Amino acid sequence: MRDENRLSGLGSADSHQSTDNLKSGLSGLKTKICLIGERQVGKSALVQRYVLDQFSDEYFATLGMKVYKKLIYVFPPRSDKAIPVTMTIWDIMGDGEYGEAMKDIYLHGAAGVIAVADVTNSETVPPLIRWVNLATALLGNVPMQIVLNKWDAGEDETARHIGLSVAKSYIAPCYLTSAYRGDNVERAFGEIAHRILAQAAKAKPVSEERVMEVLIGSIGQSRTLDELSTEFGVSAPQAEPRVRDLVRNGQLKLENVDIAKDGSPVMTYVATGKLLEK
């Protein structure tokens, strides 16, 4: 993935489009991503670090919402040609009552969601459940990431534990980030762009026959998403929606959700054998 900073900066509310414009071809993508979470968890700092490569330790409450724009180049699944992806990233004031009142405007048309909490403050993590439920009810099964921010200031074990529980409940990857140092900021935003692109591209579907073969042959064995995608014969972003469906159907179990030492997500799955039941 190559980054292009020429178009970094403030975007307008009418600049977002859904992924529908890609269903007939892959010349480019304009997509909307929403940040959700409580006040003072660093949502604005994260998006400013990603879009502008800037950080300020002064806290200014986001009044209403801000919309940022960033152009990146992403390689679609199994393609050697990168396409431009214009991301409009919406940052909302972290207030639950305001979020309820503006939910249709703020979340409407979003193709992905990044849910943010403060890893040093466990009280900011449980409210993510309300935010994620709200987003899921309005948007359905769009790509979602859980981000535990302010990693540079340490970790509260309770915050980490609850954050991982939320991630497991929603079958979402969980990152540790630092807007101050830049840790995993590029990765969290970039990987959700890859996931959105894979869905928008209507890439090669996973063969149901192949899914059956893989699940029968790996009952009780742990697999990462990368390992499952290799066995399915598609890329990880292509396999990811199917894997989530298999978890919801009980054919795969999300065995473990954790965070690696570098703050990147770790998720392992195990086949349950449900497909063999009469």
Can you give the residue ranges of every domain in the chain?
2-200, 208-276
Are 40 and 59 within 8 A, CB to CB? yes
For residues 83 and 27, the answer to whether their CB atoms sit within 8 Å is: yes
Question: Which pLDDT score, from 0 to 100, does residue 82 have?
Answer: 85
Average pLDDT rounded to a whole number, residues 150-167: 96
Six-digit token string for 228: 């499952």
Report the alpha-carbon distance of residue 43 to residue 179 in Å, rounded: 9
- Taking the C-alpha atoms of residue 239 and residue 265, their distance in angstroms, rounded to an integer, is 17
Predicted confidence at residue 93, as pLDDT, reads 65
For β-strands 144-149 and 265-271, DSSP reports them as unpaired
What does the alpha-carbon distance between residue 222 and residue 80 come to, in Å, rounded to a whole number? 31
Superfamily the domain 2-200 falls into: P-loop containing nucleotide triphosphate hydrolases (3.40.50.300)
The CATH classification number of 208-276 equals 1.10.10.10
Ranges assigned E (strand) in 11-55: 29-36
256: which strand partners? 268
pLDDT band at 87, cuts 50/70/90?
very high
Residue 278 CA to its chain's centroid (Å): 36
* 61-70, 135-144, 169-178, range with greatest mean pLDDT: 169-178
Average pLDDT over residues 170-195: 95
Rounded Cα–Cα distance for residues 151 and 15 (Å): 32
Distance, in Å, from the CA atom of 16 to the CA atom of 18, rounded to the nearest integer, reads 7
Beta-carbon-side half-sphere exposure of residue 3 (alpha carbons within 13 Å): 13
Q: Are 153 and 124 in contact (CB under 8 A)?
A: no
Q: What is the predicted pLDDT for the residue at 26?
A: 56
* DSSP state letters, 133-185: HHHHHHH-S--EEEEEE-GGG---HHHHHHHHHHHHHTT--EEE-BTTTTBTH
Choice among 75-89, 124-138, 253-267 with the minimum mean pLDDT: 75-89
Give the Cβ contact number of residue 102 at 10 Å. Answer: 16
Extract the tokens encoding 213. Answer: 């073969």
> 3-class SS at 2?
strand
Residue 209 one-letter amino acid: E
Residue 10 is predicted with a pLDDT of 31
Q: Judging by beta carbons within 10 Å of its beta carbon (0-12, 13-18, 19+), is residue 104 exposed, middle or buried?
A: exposed
Of 68-72, 196-200, 265-269, minimum mean pLDDT range: 196-200
The pLDDT confidence band at residue 197, using thresholds 50, 70 and 90, is confident
Pairing of strands 65-74, 2-10: antiparallel
**13-19 average pLDDT score:** 36
Q: What is the mean pLDDT of the chain?
A: 82
In the three-class reduction of DSSP (H, G, I as helix; E, B as strand; rest coil), residue 57 is classed as: coil
Question: Quick check: 99 pLDDT over 90?
Answer: no
Q: Which of these, 55, 177, 68, 51, lies nearest to 115 by C-alpha position?
A: 177
Q: Is the pLDDT of residue 101 over 70?
A: no
With tokens 């890893």, the residue in question is 119
80 has a pLDDT exceeding 50: yes
* Predicted pLDDT of residue 58: 52
Q: What is the mean pLDDT of residues 21-30?
A: 58
Cα–Cα nearest to 99, from 159, 162, 31, 39:
39
